[in-house]
Amino acid sequence: MAPMSQAWAFSFLLLLALFSSFLICSSNGERVFLYPQSPKVSSIVSKRYRTAYHFQPPKNWINDPNGPMYYNGFYHEFYQYNPNGSLWGNIVWGHSVSTDLVNWIRLEAAIERDTPSDINGCWTGSATILTGGQLVIIYTGADTEKRQVQNIVLPKNQSDPYLREWIKVGDNPVIEPVGPGLNSSQFRDPTTGWIGPDGLWRIAVGAELNGYSAALLYKSKDFLTWTRVDHPLYSSKTFSMWECPDFFAVLPGNKSGLDLSAAIPNGAKHVLKMSLDSCDKYMIGVYDLKLDTFVPDTVLEDRRLWLRIDYGNYYASKSFFDSKKGRRIIWGWTNETDSSSDDVAKGWAGIHAIPRTIWLGGDGKQLLQWPVQEIESLHTGEISHQGIELKKGDLFEIKGTDTLQADVEIDFELTSNNNTDPFDPSWLLDTEKHCREADASVHGGVGPFGLVVLASDNMEEHTTVHFRVYKSQHKYMILMCSDLRRSSLRPGLYTPAYGGFFEFDLEKEKKISLRTLIDRSAVESFGGGGRVCIMARVYPVALVDDGGARMYAFNNGSSTVRVPQLRAWSMTRAQVNVNKV
Ligand SMILES: *[C@@H]1O[C@H](CO)[C@@H](O)[C@H](O)[C@H]1NC(C)=O
Ligand SMILES: *[C@@H]1O[C@H](CO)[C@@H](O)[C@H](O)[C@H]1NC(C)=O
Ligand SMILES: *[C@@H]1O[C@H](CO)[C@@H](O)[C@H](O)[C@H]1NC(C)=O
Ligand SMILES: *[C@@H]1O[C@H](CO)[C@@H](O)[C@H](O)[C@H]1NC(C)=O
Ligand SMILES: *[C@@H]1O[C@H](CO)[C@@H](O)[C@H](O)[C@H]1NC(C)=O
Ligand SMILES: *[C@@H]1O[C@H](CO)[C@@H](O)[C@H](O)[C@H]1NC(C)=O
Ligand SMILES: *[C@@H]1O[C@H](CO)[C@@H](O)[C@H](O)[C@H]1NC(C)=O
């Protein structure tokens, strides 16, 4: 993840925070007023915006997930963490462990800034379980000269189930930013290692090389001494560095995960994920073992058309093979979309999205994702409805669940698809623009239909997650939007209308599914069985003032849609980092 230079703003924001405290002092911390110009808008510092079952530490800034792994009975989640405040800076590796990916125990920092090769920051990296079971983490350090170098840590006592202490080996950095075309401030975020047929370990490192974005390839016999391979794993002329590359193998149509260092079965594909333009994009292709390069199935010159892990607020993701359940799991970072001064006032910033199982669809063309099954242990008080008909303009209120902490699954079935509007491929270049123009109040042939969540009584505040069905030449294209533009009356928020398209075989599939996890300021949605995922952050005033919010299913398309099945659960609070051991 990119180093940010926000130091200039910090002292100013501190002053602002001090000033703001004049306005907040006489309160119980819940109903307080920060914006004198709009007295109805209560303070952002309300605890009600903190999530109840997403990953976050008790306070301070977090960004990228680091080194996720399953080892010896525990899941480990490390994360970029500022122990000193709620803006980016002083980055060390926070560390938590879990047996179920839902409840987390917070441990002391695993990697701190205490050697010349990481004194200016312990940045993103990955864990690898070597042959024989030895664990190793490789991460980027910002050294005394603020160059980006790659360092190694090993567990001090590998029998300690929590792996609390990590030690730096003597010869850090193990990789320096040297060699033709390398820029020492654009060289970071090493991947998990994998072993090749020659028995050598490989890692990829994100870099900018002579103006190209690249995942550089390094080889090693012992994970300590590394040499750069003379060609990158993959590179592309995108004029923007690729952060946080991730490289893994998948089998088309098979939900099982693959360990990249085990024998890769016939028919497997490889995925290269990279973080750029504030989103996580990926390519599907093959790993050519002879040439030692990644070869994408299709090369799209225009990177606006690249597939995305998530079409909302989701960045710097990292995946790992979960040997306990034989699946691949991906974690991503979701930032706040209030202002930096709001984050200083709140004292916390950043969450991780729900860990998702990730696999390749049967057509081999795109990844699918679904919240890990363990999250369902938080379900309580199921409500369900069958056979609802939604005519144009209908709004069906979903009652009986905690609308601030909920898991909603709804299937939509079309009664007719002969008045679908035509698809225009140019929309693919800017799906957010299309979601703004064709929003939930613009009637279409088939759609918009979907959910309204976190709505105030009078609908002044509401967030929609919805679909539209378009007819392309030989197929249907489904647009999924998550529109935040009316999510809050609070000023100064970033409230886009996120959107993504997916192909759909309406004749074969009939139903379009939507699952939305609502967790106070997080709305995380999975459309078409996980074909388009959209993570979003919202801060409705109603959530603080009324302590409640409403939820609806709706249809604003000319065609009636049927809801054969709607199920919703309240979500109980998880134990996330509340206890420090
Ligand atoms: C936190 O800030 C203090 C004062 O600026 C500094 O001395 C200390 O090193 C910082 N701690 C970390 C872990 O960055
Ligand atoms: C390593 O951890 C194990 C399990 O907690 C413990 O029994 C052992 O004493 C530890 N060894 C050292 C050298 O601390
Ligand atoms: C290296 O990258 C930094 C940060 O993007 C940039 O400011 C600098 O100009 C680059 N240096 C060279 C030699 O390209
Ligand atoms: C899916 O892949 C796993 C791991 O390679 C394999 O054991 C399993 O048989 C496959 N399942 C199907 C349905 O092909
Ligand atoms: C974080 O939030 C801001 C909105 O304040 C957004 O513009 C930015 O790109 C986001 N994502 C990342 C990865 O920083
Ligand atoms: C449209 O679909 C409906 C329901 O399937 C059908 O009754 C009607 O005849 C169709 N209209 C046309 C023009 O195809
Ligand atoms: C449906 O459309 C009407 C009329 O344009 C609009 O007032 C209403 O807000 C829309 N419903 C939703 C959920 O956006």
Domains parsed from the chain with CATH numbers = 9-24+378-572 (2.60.120.560), 62-338+348-371 (2.115.10.20)
Residue 362: both structure tokens together:
């049967």
pLDDT of residue 25: 28
Residue nearest to atom 5 of ligand 7 (CA): 441
Going by C-alpha positions, the residue among 374, 521, 393, 504 that lies closest to residue 448 is 393
Residue nearest to atom 1 of ligand 3 (CA): 183
Q: With a 6 A CB cut-off, is 416 part of the ligand 6 pocket?
A: yes
Taking CA atoms only, the protein residue closest to ligand 3 atom 7 is: 185
- pLDDT score of 42: 67
Position 548 scores a pLDDT of 77
Determine whether the shortest distance from the Cβ of 440 to ligand 7 is under 6 A.
yes
Running DSSP on this structure, what letter comes out for residue 49? G
Among candidates 216, 213, 188, which has minimal Cα distance to 202?
216
pLDDT digit string, tens, across residues 508-535? 888 999 999 999 999 999 999 999 999 9
Quote the ligand 7 centre to 353 CA distance (angstroms): 29
Q: Are 399 and 393 in contact (CB under 8 A)?
A: no
- Find the 90 Cα to ligand 1 centroid distance in Å: 7
pTM: 0.93
> Is the Cβ–Cβ distance between 566 and 400 less than 8 Å?
no
358 C-alpha to ligand 7 centroid (Å):
34
Using alpha carbons, list the distances in angstroms from residue 408 to 110, 504, 569: 36, 22, 7
**E strand or H helix at 436:** helix 431-437
Closest ligand to residue 158's CA: 2
Give the separation between CA 332 and CA 534, rounded to whole angstroms: 12
State the burial class of residue 346 (Cβ atoms within 10 Å of its Cβ: 0-12, 13-18, 19+): buried
Token look-up 């792994």 returns: 69
pLDDT of residue 4: 47
Pocket of ligand 1 (CB under 6 A): 83-84, 90, 92
Half-sphere exposure of 579 (CA within 13 A, CB side): 8
Q: Map residue 429 onto helix, strand or coil.
A: helix
- Asked if 218 and 206 touch (Cβ cutoff 8 Å), the reply is no
Best substitution site from 392, 437, 466, 556 to test ligand 7's pocket, by max atoms within 8 Å of Cβ?
Answer: 556
What is the C-alpha separation between 133 and 155, in angstroms, rounded? 12
Atom of ligand 5 nearest to the CA of 336: 2
Compute the distance between CA of residue 151 and CA of residue 28 in angstroms, rounded to an integer: 46
Ligand minimally distant from the alpha carbon of residue 10: 1
Residue written as token pair 């054969």: 564
User: The tokens 């299309």 sit on which residue?
Assistant: 434
Which strand (E) or helix (H) includes residue 508? helix 506-509
DSSP state of 567: E
Rounded Cα distance between 563 and 410, Å, is 7
Cα(476) to ligand 6 centroid in Å equals 17
Locate the ligand 6 atom nearest the alpha carbon of residue 417 and give its number: 2
149 Cα: distance to centroid of ligand 3 (angstroms):
16
Catalytic-residue membership of 363: no
Encoded amino acid at 282, one letter: Y
Atom of ligand 5 nearest to the CA of 1: 13
- Decide: 252 in ligand 4 pocket, CB within 6 A: no
Given 64, 118, 259, 439, the catalytic residue: 64
Which of 429, 454, 440, 444 has its CA nearest to residue 519?
454
Q: For the chain, what's the residue count?
A: 581
Q: How far is the CA of 393 from the centre of ligand 7 (A)?
A: 7
Residues with CB under 6 A from ligand 5: 278, 315, 335, 337, 494
Interval between CA 443 and ligand 7 midpoint (Å): 8
185 C-alpha to ligand 3 centroid (Å): 7
Which residues surround ligand 3 with Cβ inside 6 Å?
A: 183, 185-186
Contacts (Cβ under 8 Å, ≥6 apart) of 80? 1, 62, 63, 64, 66, 91, 93, 94, 123, 124, 333
Q: Cβ(442)–Cβ(465) under 8 Å?
A: no
Closest residue to atom 7 of ligand 7, CA basis: 441
Q: Whose CA is nearest to atom 6 of ligand 3?
A: 185
- Rounded Cα gap, residues 349 and 326, in angstroms: 33
- Which bound ligand lies closest to the C-alpha atom of 162? 2
Residue of the nearest CA to atom 2 in ligand 6? Answer: 416
Which residues in the chain land under pLDDT 70?
Answer: 1-42, 547
pLDDT of residue 35: 46
d(CA 178, CA 69): 30
For the Cβ of 418 lying below 6 angstroms from any atom of ligand 6, the answer is yes
Question: Which ligand 1 atom sits closest to the C-alpha of 84?
Answer: 1
DSSP state of 164: -
Does residue 463 have its Cβ closer than 6 Å to ligand 7? no
Query: If we measure between CA atoms, which residue out of 477, 499, 363 comes closest to residue 417?
Result: 477
C-alpha of residue 155 to centroid of ligand 2, in Å: 12
pLDDT of residue 40: 57
**Residue nearest ligand 4's atom 13 by CA:** 254
